[in-house]
Amino acid sequence: EAHHITQKNGSPGHPQTQGKIERFHQTLKRWLRARPRPTTIEDLQAHLNDFRTWYNTDRPHRSLGRRTPCQAYTALAKAHPQTTTEPEWRTRTDRIDNHGKVSLRYAGRLRHLGMGRANIGQPVLMLIHDHDVITTHAETGTIIATHHIDDTRDYQPPDKNTPTTREPPEKQ
Asked whether residue 29 is domain-assigned, the answer is: yes
Cβ burial of 9 (10 Å; 0-12, 13-18, 19+) is exposed
- Residue 24 pLDDT > 90, yes or no? no
Where is the domain boundary, 53, 75, 97? 75
Q: Is position 162 within any domain?
A: no
Domain annotation covers residue 138: yes
- The total domain count for the chain is 2
Tell me if 23 sits within 8 A of 15, measured CB to CB.
Answer: yes
Statement to judge: residues 54 and 31 lie in one domain: yes
Q: How far is Cα 56 from Cα 61, in angstroms, rounded to an integer?
A: 9
Supply the pLDDT for residue 82. Answer: 79
pTM: 0.48
Amino acid 166: pLDDT: 54
pLDDT digits (tens, 9 = 90+) for 66-124: 999 999 999 988 888 877 777 788 999 999 999 999 999 998 899 999 999 999 999 99
Same-domain check for residues 70 and 93: no
What residue numbers bound the domain in which 108 lies? 89-156
Report the share of the chain in percent with pLDDT over 90: 62
pLDDT value of position 170: 56
